């Protein structure tokens, strides 16, 4: 059974940093692209970052230069290092799996809440 | 950037109704369109990808169609467990969502 379990969320002050983790199981982690998608309370879905099987990262303009996605295939783990956090980054962060080269997400984790507030 | 719109933004329907949700792209995206269902407090669930391919395990009452700039998600006979918010997605861009609730 495919499982994605996020951790690392919490309360952080504006300008602070946080590192999210996603533990994957039930599939060959190294063979899939992995993504982070976030959702502010009562709002829609926003793609945050992606990393391909070769470790190539992708970001939207809203987080580029502040967020860094990485993966550790030996540990079946995905990470998101978030720096210079702003109130607008407050959201539930989901990790999601995508078949290599595909832009649809076939499995999602349960999400971890990040709150940026003083 | 390609913009995605959905209509309606919300709808009220009864169990057994046929429901259609429309997603439009600001320019042609061929068939690179996916649909997700999200229930409150839960992660999104993939329903359809490549505009019309049903994800494994998804009931056959869900179907997708369209290409180019206009796509539809149809629920042939709405069931109690289908009351949720539905999102379309092109590339890494999601539509704003359509909330389906009980009439």
Name the stretches of chain B with pLDDT < 50.
none
Please tell me the predicted confidence (pLDDT) of residue B30. 85
What digits encode the pLDDT tens for the residues A68-115? Answer: 999 999 999 999 999 999 999 999 999 999 999 999 999 999 999 999
A–B interface: beta-carbon pairs under 8 A: 50
Asked if B70 and B22 touch (Cβ cutoff 8 Å), the reply is yes
Give the whole-number percent of chain B exceeding pLDDT 90: 90
Asked if A74 and B23 touch (Cβ cutoff 8 Å), the reply is no
Please tell me the predicted confidence (pLDDT) of residue B1. 85
Asked if B101 and B12 touch (Cβ cutoff 8 Å), the reply is yes
Please tell me the predicted confidence (pLDDT) of residue A60. 95
Give the whole-number percent of chain A exceeding pLDDT 90: 100
User: Is there a contact between A94 and B43 if contact means CB atoms under 8 Å apart?
Assistant: yes
A69: distance to nearest CA of chain B, Å?
16
For A103, which of B55, B91, B97 is closest by C-beta distance? Answer: B91
């Amino acid at each position: 059974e495919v499982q994605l379990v996020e951790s690392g969320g919490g309360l952080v002050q504006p300008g602070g940093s946080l590192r999210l983790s996603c533990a994957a199981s039930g599939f060959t982690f190294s063979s899939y692209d992995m993504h982070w998608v976030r959702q502010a309370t009562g709002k829609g879905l926003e793609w945050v970052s992606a990393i391909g099987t070769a470790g190539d990262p992708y970001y939207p303009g809203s987080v580029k230069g502040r967020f860094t996605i990485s993966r550790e295939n030996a540990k079946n783990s995905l990470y998101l290092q978030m720096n210079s956090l702003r109130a607008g980054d407050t959201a539930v962060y989901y990790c999601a799996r995508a078949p290599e080269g595909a832009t649809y997400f076939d499995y999602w984790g349960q999400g971890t809440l990040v709150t940026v507030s003083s | 950037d390609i913009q995605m719109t959905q209509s309606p933004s919300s709808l009220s329907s009864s169990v057994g109704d046929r429901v259609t949700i429309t997603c439009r792209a600001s320019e042609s995206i061929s068939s690179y369109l996916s649909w997700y269902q999200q229930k409150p407090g839960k992660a999104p669930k993939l329903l359809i990808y490549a505009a019309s391919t049903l994800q494994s395990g998804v009931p056959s009452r869900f179907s997708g169609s369209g290409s180019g700039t206009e796509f539809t998600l149809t629920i042939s006979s709405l069931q109690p467990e289908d009351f949720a918010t539905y999102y379309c997605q092109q590339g890494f861009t999601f539509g704003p969502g359509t909330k389906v609730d009980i009439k």
